[in-house]
Amino acid sequence: MPIQIVEILGRSIQGVTHPFVCRGEDDCTYFVKGHGAGRPSLIAEYVCGKLAVAFGLPVADFEIVEVAPELIEWGGIEDAKDLGAGLAFGSRALPHVQEFSFALLPAVDIKLRRDILIFDWWVRNGDRSLTEKGGNPNLLWDQDAGKLAVIDHNQAFDPDFDSLRFSQTHVFHQDLPSVFDDMVERMAYQARLAVAFAEFEQACDTVPPEWWWVDHGVPTDFDRNSARATLERYMGNDFWRIA
């Protein structure tokens, strides 16, 4: 059952989609993406979230949430119609976190760096860039616990994914040679990707049915078969080449 949103608190100024900050019936705070994010974005976010969990990434907890029409109409929040009523994607807010910065790179465990790098390469997520000149890594850092949390997979399965740009700007791009040039590392990751890939069909099947449709029988612009083909690349040697 989806978590019912009971209050819209405001809107985040960060992120491409500027999610809404909401309180759920469980008294947790969520960053919620709805109508304005677009159906393909919501599907990518949800499916990749499921795959990331199966792969073992420290993803911020997420839920399908439901927004009542009354909250949109009478909630008193500007742009609330951009959230829209109905089922939406909610990422649970984490306490004591800050945006990840370039200076924190040495503090991240090397295995986790490589895990995030390979996962993003797998799902063709180019939206985790960070260099000394800046960027948007879509990572959160708990300074006290020394832990990283991964958020935002809404731009995965990008048909215009630029592998060269990824190899130069991903927040952990410097670890690419350590994996791509190591046959043992590659085999280990292929085994883990196989485990995560096994969750793809179930993840798609549990996407809210209405997300697959724009309106009045018009399908959303998310190609399940194309997404599956993107993920299946891990089985071949070409997966480890930067075109």
Asked if the model's pLDDT at residue 86 lies above 80, the reply is: yes
- Eight-class DSSP state of 127: -
Asked if the model's pLDDT at residue 17 lies above 80, the reply is: no
Asked if the model's pLDDT at residue 177 lies above 80, the reply is: yes
Task: Classify each residue of 15-42 as buried b or exposed e, where b means 16 or more C-beta atoms within 10 Å of its C-beta.
Answer: bebebbbbebeeeebbbbbbbbbbbbbb
Q: Who wins on pLDDT, 77 or 21?
A: 21
Task: Classify each residue of 124-160 as buried b or exposed e, where b means 16 or more C-beta atoms within 10 Å of its C-beta.
Answer: bbbbbbbeeeebbbbbbbeeeeebbbbbbbbbbbeee
The mean predicted confidence, pLDDT, of the chain is 94
Cα–Cα distance for residue pair 11/83, rounded to 1 Å: 10
Report, as an integer, the average pLDDT of 97-126.
Answer: 96
Q: Which amino acid is at 107?
A: A
Asked if the model's pLDDT at residue 81 lies above 90, the reply is: no
Q: Please give the pLDDT value at position 216.
A: 75
Q: Which residues pair with 3 in a beta bridge?
A: 65
Under the banding of pLDDT at 50, 70 and 90, the label for residue 80 is: confident
Q: Please give the pLDDT value at position 243.
A: 72
Radius of gyration for the alpha carbons in the chain, expressed in angstroms and rounded: 18
- pLDDT > 90: what percent of the chain? 84
Q: Who wins on pLDDT, 174 or 75?
A: 174
pLDDT digits (tens, 9 = 90+) for 196-243: 999 999 999 999 999 999 877 789 999 999 999 999 999 999 999 987
